[in-house]
Chains A and B, each alone.
Chain A
């Protein structure tokens, strides 16, 4: 007997490691041992592989089978090693030729009848194979389209073990009609649905232009959620690389189907306010899964009723807000997921929700109101550039559908404005106004002189902190870009100030 050798991929977070699977079959009592720190799902592979092989009329060796996954120190998890283990067992029995096994990576979970089931994380696993000696990947048929997003690898989708073995033995493949789902039209909730709300609309436009985070405070039923849902429609379509990155994250989370394979939409993720810290930033004990903030990468993370969030959940967002990524460390290793999103927070003005306009009908005490909004911690709110009040639409706005610009129109303005800012950034490694570093704001990215002196006097009056000063300047740039000014004028700075301190609730 020889030793059967195949390759698979172990995925932790978004980074894959090539794993060599060796199978040795020796004389002795029928026994199966699996080495190389497998988790429970992988431990159970034995029974899946055995049934799948037997039901595909292949040999199961009633001998001592030793399966070793190396590197042995790397904890491995999941059912995607079923396929490489099955092939290695057959190779060890010398019942298949190895010429097509060598240089291939096998990926997939086996059903008991020999079908190859859809796998999670195919996209990031394949991306991590680029540049290795592996040139050929066998993937489950259900993941064929996903796998083909990666160029530079020969992708061989297989429906079941029998087909795979037929190909390994003869090189003959069952022809498949690859059904690529048609590219979906941009299917958005449109901004034209929103009646009135001119200030909020403008704030969204600015947020989309500069990538600024935004907090909306307003009574229930005024359209905060409606507005937030329409923010992605104002963002430009994702580029090739960004879209692939988003798809990879969704693939690891197992929700790529829901998102759509070729989607270039900026994602919109709205976790409920009872969500846990793990669900928000990612985690898990045996498989590190991305959280809501990573799923929202290159898109929008919307948290409704933000003050109701379980304590600590919002503050867990501080790292991704600062660095655009999140690192999760668990016993099995650590994973870094990108998490560069526009944060949209919505809150009621008070616990009862009726504190708006003249505040009639509000039954909350001032202490209650303060406590309620204080649940949004200072350090978090400080990172939110835009803070606006959303009031109920006026009667006339409601009736006439005033200001009902469509998303497409606004998106075009946003795209033009972004182009202006990107041209300006040529020397800096940033793409959005919200990312302009502080030193640059004090040097080459100053506002007009009158604007700067307004900001300085605001600082003198202690209306503005140093961090606030920079935030307002960044906002001013987005406003100036939208207004097609070459640098922020006094009016842009004034407008930025009003959008940042649209409410006195936190000051």
Chain B
């Protein structure tokens, strides 16, 4: 993928922010950037209520190209669902209760960070 260095950096920073955000809320991070041939899951976490939570993180440096979460198309959503099942299977947790969240992180050049976290949207 021809991702520029800066964009990759923003992505990394965004994911780190969300991991932190979840930890603060009492989540345990099970995996980060879990990757198979089909694609990648940004964050897998266990919620305080014991629910396995998959998080897709979208980071942007501005809203100039629209809301980050808009770039999650229907196909991407389906792929995330397949990935989530694949993770559950390969971690012998198939059948466990799970949900897929989406998080938008807007990192402005001045250093401000804005998080838009939406639960169970996929």
Chain A residues in the interface with B (C-beta under 8 A): 27-30, 62
Contact = CB atoms under 8 A, between A and B. Distances in A.
Contacts of B77: 29
A27 B69 contact: no
Interface string B55-79: 0000000000001011010000100
Interface in B92-121: 102, 116, 118, 121
Contacts of A27: 118, 121
Interface string B26-44: 0000000000000000000
A19 to B, nearest CB: 28
B68 to A, nearest CB: 9
Interface residues of B, number: 10
- Give the interface SS of chain A, mostly helix, strand, loop or mixed: loop
Contacts of B122: 29
Contacts of A30: 67, 69-70
Contacts of B118: 27-29
17 contacts: A27-B121, A28-B118, A28-B121, A29-B69, A29-B70, A29-B77, A29-B102, A29-B118, A29-B121, A29-B122, A30-B67, A30-B69, A30-B70, A62-B67, A62-B69, A62-B70, A62-B116
Given A29-B118, A62-B69, 14 more contacts: A27-B118, A27-B121, A28-B118, A28-B121, A29-B69, A29-B70, A29-B77, A29-B121, A29-B122, A30-B67, A30-B69, A30-B70, A62-B70, A62-B116
Contacts of B121: 27-29
A30 B104 CA distance: 11
B103 to A, nearest CB: 11
A32 to B, nearest CB: 10
B79 to A, nearest CB: 14
A29 B71 CA distance: 10
Contacts of A28: 118, 121
Nearest to A61: B67
B80 to A, nearest CB: 11
A62 B122 CA distance: 15
Contacts of A29: 69-70, 72, 77, 102, 118, 121-122
Among A28, A29, A62, max chain B CB count under 10 A is at: A29
A428 B60 CA distance: 76
Nearest to A28: B121
A149 to B, nearest CB: 42
Contacts of A62: 67, 69-70, 116
B105 to A, nearest CB: 14
A29 B69 CA distance: 6
Contacts of B102: 29
Contacts of B69: 29-30, 62
B66 to A, nearest CB: 8
A62 B102 CA distance: 13
A30 B122 CA distance: 11
A62 B114 CA distance: 15
A28 B121 CA distance: 5
Nearest to B122: A29
Nearest to A62: B67
A27 B102 CA distance: 12
Contacts of B67: 30, 62
Nearest to A50: B66
B83 to A, nearest CB: 16
Contacts of B70: 29-30, 62
B120 to A, nearest CB: 9
Nearest to B102: A29
